[in-house]
Structures are given as structure tokens and as C-alpha cells.
Structure 1
């Protein structure tokens, strides 16, 4: 049985997933998650994911953004000893961050497909919009864990590819809405 590959992220109602906490991508609406009233139960999904994660998968830019912060974060201490994978055609091994556990560079979607066939549990993709689009195009994503925020940004990286491709159906596994307008949507990709 293949390991489950789960994309998890914060998303605006118009599908933008970049710069939820800052202005990394450079559009004027960066930091949009911080503009929403904090309601702890709206973020409970993130804690649940910690328990389910057996490996992390990143694109290069997300790895470079998350690794230095998460390595020293008490909130992400459980990730320190998990295997981590970075999908990049350009990242050199000597650019990997020291002190954050085992990290392997994968060079293609085919490498990710091979990883899914190994023993182990769920592999979670955080951020990494471009990687997520490429993995979805290769039919490798099994589930989407989304926290959708009540904001329309109009600019930024979208999670989903807009090219004409075969339809993929999703089955709602779980949903909830919160007093701050955030909606939790967990979808399984249906084969």
C-alpha cells in the first residue's frame, strides 16, 4: 500500500497559498493569516497533523523559508527527528540546514512517486505551491488539508493549476467553520 501524500496549507478564498504570515512573495497582501482574528479551535487541524506526520516534503523555496524557523521552534519540535525531503533540481546537498535531522533531496515527481511506495505513514507537504501543482498534475496527492481564510487577495501563488487537464474528483472527509470565518476543509482525492 502506498504512503499517503497530504498537502496542508492556509488558503485564501480565491485560492492563494503564499505569504500567509509575511511578505515573502512580495505582493502587498502578505501576512493575511495574521489579519484574521485568532480562534484556537480554527488551528486545531495543525496540531492533529503533528500526530499524523511521519515525513515532511518541501519544494526548495519553502524548505529554505521553513527550515531555519522550524528547526528551533518548540511548536515544531516533533518535526525535528522526522525524515525530510526537498524536491529541487538545483539545491545542493551542502545547502541543507544542519541540526534539523535527516534531509534528502529528490530531483523529480518520479522520485516522489518512488518515495510513496516505501514503508511508512503519511507524508505532509507544507507551503510549496509550485510543488503541489506539479504533484497534483502527476496524480500524487492523496488528500488536501485546507484552512480557508475569509479574504480575497487577487494576487499571489495559487494552489491549483489552471491548465486544461482531466477532472479529479474530491470527497469531503471533514469540515468545520469557526467564528472568525475560517473554514476547515479536508478532501480525499478520489481515483
Structure 2
């Protein structure tokens, strides 16, 4: 039984996934999650994921961004000792974060595919929109756990590619709408065999 690869993240209605908490990506609308009305219930999905996560997968930039904060964050203590994987052709062993659990560098989509065939449970991707696009194009994403925020930014990175290719069907697993306009949607990818 292959391990499930889950993309989890905050996105806008026009599918932008970067800069939810600040302007690090350089477009003027960064910080859209931080500016939005906070309702704890709308973030319940994030807490539910903790019990299901057996490993974390990041692209290099998201690994470096989360690695600067999460190892010392009480909210992310459950992730501290979990195995972590960084999909990058440029990161080196010397770039890995000390004291944040075992970390393995993956150099290709084939390496990610091999990881999915290993023993263990669900692997969650946080942030990492470029990685998500590449892995989706390779047919490796199994589920999307998304908190959709009511913004149209017009600029920023999407987790979905724009190439003309065969459609990917999704099956809605669960959904909920919150009074602050946030939607929680969980979709399983329908893999064609």
C-alpha cells in the first residue's frame, strides 16, 4: 500500500498559495491570511492533520522558511521529531536545520515516488507551491487539504499548473464554510490506472 501524499495549505480563490503571512514573495498582496478575520474553527483542519502526519515534505524555499520558525514553535511541536524530506536539486547537507528531526534530501520526482512506496503513513506537503505543481503533474499528489480564503490577488504562485494536459478528477471528501468566508475543502485525487 503506497503512502498517501497530501498537499495542505492556505490558498486564495484564484489559487495563490504563497505569502499568506507576509510579503516575502514580493507581490504587494502578501499577508492575506494574517489580515483576514480570525476564527479558530476555520483552522480546525490544521489540528486534525497533526494526528495523521507521519512525515513532512518541502521544497527548498518552504523548508528554509518553516525551518526558521517551526523548530521553536509550540504550535508545531508535534512536527519537531517527524521525518522531513526536502525536494531540491540545490540544497546541501550543510543547509539542513539542526534539531528538527531526521531530514532527507530528495533530488527528483522519482525520489518522491520511491518515498511513497516505502513503509509508513501519510506525508504532508506544507507551502511549497512549485513542488506541489511538479508533483501533481507527475501524478504523485493523492489529496488536497485546502483552506480557501476569499481573496483574488492576481499575482503569486499557484499550486496548480496551467499546462494543457489531461484533466485530473477530484472527489470531494469533506467541506465546510465558515462565517468569515473561509472554505475548508478536502479533495481526493482520482488516479487513472
Task: Provide TM-score, normalisation by structure 2.
Answer: 0.98
Aligned to 2:23: 23
Deviations 1:75-114 (A, max 9, x none): 0001011000000000010110101110000000000000
Instruction: Name the residue aligned to 1:14.
Output: 14
Equivalent residue, structure 2, for 1:163? 163
RMSD over aligned Cα atoms: 0.5
Q: Which residue of structure 2 aligns with residue 102 of structure 1? A: 102
Residue 33 of structure 1 aligns to a residue whose secondary structure is helix
- Aligned residue-pair number: 191
Q: Does 1:136 align with 2:97?
A: no
- 5+ unaligned residues in a row in structure 1: which ranges? none
CA distance in 2, matches of 1:77, 1:30: 26
Partner of 1:32: 32
- What 5-or-longer segments of structure 2 have no aligned partner? none
SS at 2:34's partner residue?
coil
**Separation in structure 2 between the aligned mates of residue 151 and residue 23 of structure 1, nearest angstrom:** 15
1:117 shift after superposition: 0.3
Aligned equivalents of 1:173, 1:29: Cα separation in 2? 31
Tell me the residue number matched to 1:88: 88
Deviation string 1:41-93 (CA, Å, 9 cap, x unpaired) is 00000000111100000000000000120000000001011000000000010
Tell me the distance in 1 between the aligned counterparts of 2:159 and 2:88: 18
Structure-2 residue corresponding to 1:65: 65
List structure 1 segments (4+ residues) > 2 angstroms apart after TM superposition: none
Distance 2:15 2:33 in 1: 13
1:117 maps to what in 2?
A: 117
Measured in 1, the distance between the counterparts of 2:101 and 2:184 equals 30
